[in-house]
Structure 1
Amino acid sequence: MSTSLSTLVPELLDEARAHSSGRAARTVRGHTEHRLRHTVIALTSGSVLADHESPDEATLLVLAGRVRLTDATGGGDGWTGCAGDLTDIPPVRHGLTAEEDSAVLLTVRL
C-alpha cells in the first residue's frame, strides 16, 4: 500500500477548515497487521489537540505549516517545528497547537 502525502495533506486541510473543531485526520498505515501506526493530522491555525498522555514511543513529522508541541507537566519549554522538522514526542503529558494551518505525521508503536 502506498499513500501520496502531498495529495492527502491538502485534502485533510480542506476537511479541517470545514469542521468546527478545525481538525481532520486519517490513519494511512497501521492496522492489526502492523507494529507502527502512521496518522496524518491536519489542524487549522489556532486549533489545539488538548493535553493527553504520551504513547509508548512516538514521533511527529511536520508536513506543512508550523506547530507547537507543549509539555503539560511544565517541565520543558516545548518544541516548535515547521515543514520538514521531525521530533520524538516526549514521554509526558503533552498537547499540540497549530500556529498556522498545518499537517503532521504522527507515528506510534502499537
Structure 2
Amino acid sequence: MEKISLTALAREHLEKARAASSGRSSHTVYGGHEHSLRQVLLALTAGNGLDDHESPGEATLQVLQGRVRLSTEQAGWEGSAGDHLVVPLTRHALAALEDSVVILTVAKKLGPHV
C-alpha cells in the first residue's frame, strides 16, 4: 500500500509549472506504460494546456484545483475544483482558465505494443 498526498503533490507541481516556460508540470501518480490503469497529475498555469491531440482511450479528468476547459471541435466543457469530466474519445484539447491541477486517469488495453 502506498499513500500519496495529492494536496502536497498539487502544490509542488503547480510551483514547478509556474517556473517552467511551458507553464505545466506532470507526475505519474500510479501506473505507467506497463499497466492498464495510469493516473497522472497535471499542473497548468492560466492560459496554458495541452494542444489538440488524439484521445488516449477511456479517460477522465478530476479537477483538484482551479478551472479548466476540455474541448473538441464540436463542444467544450468547463470544470472546476471537485468536478469530474469524461474525456471524449475524439481529438480534444485542455486549457487552464486559471492556475489548475487535474488528475488524468487513463485505462488502456494491454498488449504487445503498449
TM-score class normalised by the smaller sequence: over 0.9
Look up the equivalent residue of 1:75 and give its one-letter code. Q
Deviation at 1:48, TM superposition (A): 2.0
1:104 aligns with 2:102: yes
Measure, in 2, the Cα distance between the counterparts of 1:82 and 1:15. Answer: 21
- Other-structure match for 2:45: 44
Residues 1-110 of structure 1 aligned to structure 2 (within 5 Å): 1-31=2-32, 34-71=35-72, 74-76=73-75, 78-110=76-108
Measure, in 1, the Cα distance between the counterparts of 2:14 and 2:7. Answer: 11
Gaps of 5+ in 1: none
Look up the equivalent residue of 1:101 and give its one-letter code. D
Measure, in 1, the Cα distance between the counterparts of 2:34 and 2:99. Answer: 32
Deviation at 1:87, TM superposition (A): 1.2
Deviation at 1:47, TM superposition (A): 0.6
Deviation at 1:8, TM superposition (A): 0.4
Deviations 1:35-85 (A, max 9, x none): 2100000000111210000111000000000000010xx222x10000000
Deviation at 1:34, TM superposition (A): 3.3
CA RMSD of aligned residues (A): 1.1
Flag as ranges the 4+ runs of structure 1 deviating above 2 A: 31-35
The TM-score with structure 1 as length reference comes to 0.93
User: May I ask how many residue pairs the two structures share in their alignment?
Assistant: 107
Partner SS for 1:92: coil
